[in-house]
Amino acid sequence: IISDNPKQSSRVPVFIKVLDVNDNAPEFAMFYETFVCENAKAEQLIQTLSAVDKDDSYGGHQFSFSLAPEAASSSNFTLQDNRGE
């Protein structure tokens, strides 16, 4: 608090209790080993990925995935978010 009058300012200790610490990193729901056949068609679904987080979440966990930069610059693969379906 900024004040020209020292009588209008005060200091108090504040204690914050952290209820949830992210001690578990998100991880894939299972081990994925994906193979792509050479005759796969364009727009064909190759793999569906899922992730889990063992930390409690009141509103549910939301995850996003992205291709590595070297793959993102190629038009050979794309990711599509199915919104948990």
Annotated domain spans of the chain: 21-84
The token pair at 28 is: 């894939």
pLDDT tens-digit profile of 28-48?
Answer: 889 998 888 888 888 888 888
Q: Give the pLDDT confidence score for residue 11 in this predicted structure.
A: 73
Report the alpha-carbon distance of residue 1 to residue 65 in Å, rounded.
43
pLDDT tens-digit profile of 41-68?
Answer: 888 888 888 888 888 676 677 778 888 8
Q: Give the pLDDT confidence score for residue 19 in this predicted structure.
A: 67
Q: With cut-offs at 50, 70 and 90, classify the pLDDT of residue 20.
A: low
Mean pLDDT of the chain: 77
Cα→Cα distances 40→3, 20, 33, 37, 79, Å: 70, 45, 17, 5, 16
Cβ atoms 79, 67 nearer than 8 A: yes
